[in-house]
Amino acid sequence: MKKDDRLPNTTACIEQPTQKEENSDWVRTTVVIREKYLEKIKALSFMEKVPTKDVLDQILARFFESLKTPIPERKKGVLDDFFTKNPP
């Protein structure tokens, strides 16, 4: 598969969380983003001397704060219970 054939019209693809850090609200997962955004996030991380996850956290926090319509809380489903009781 060529690089250009992968997810041509997708800007983000979030999978099920793969690992939750103990005693933390951080979750390790895979996110597919455009290469140009990743380069900018890494550059900001380097310039500010902070971890990439902190830069992305600030970007997402500002984005969600700027929304005029709040996003409702997600209802817990059957799969959530399954993954909580049966971690990978």
Domain ranges of the chain: 3-68
User: Which residue, among 17, 9, 29, has the nearest Cα to 83 in the 3D structure?
Assistant: 17
Give the angle 28-30-23 at the CA atoms, nearest 5°: 10
Structural contact between residues 45 and 55, judged by C-beta atoms closer than 8 angstroms: yes
| Residue ranges of the chain whose pLDDT lies below 70 | 1-23, 76-83, 86-88
DSSP state of 4: G
**pLDDT tens digits for range 10-32:** 445 545 555 566 667 888 888 89
Q: Please give the model's pTM, rounded to 2 decimal places.
A: 0.56
Token pair of 50, please?
């902070």
pLDDT of residue 67: 84
C-alpha span between 34 and 78 (Å, rounded): 32
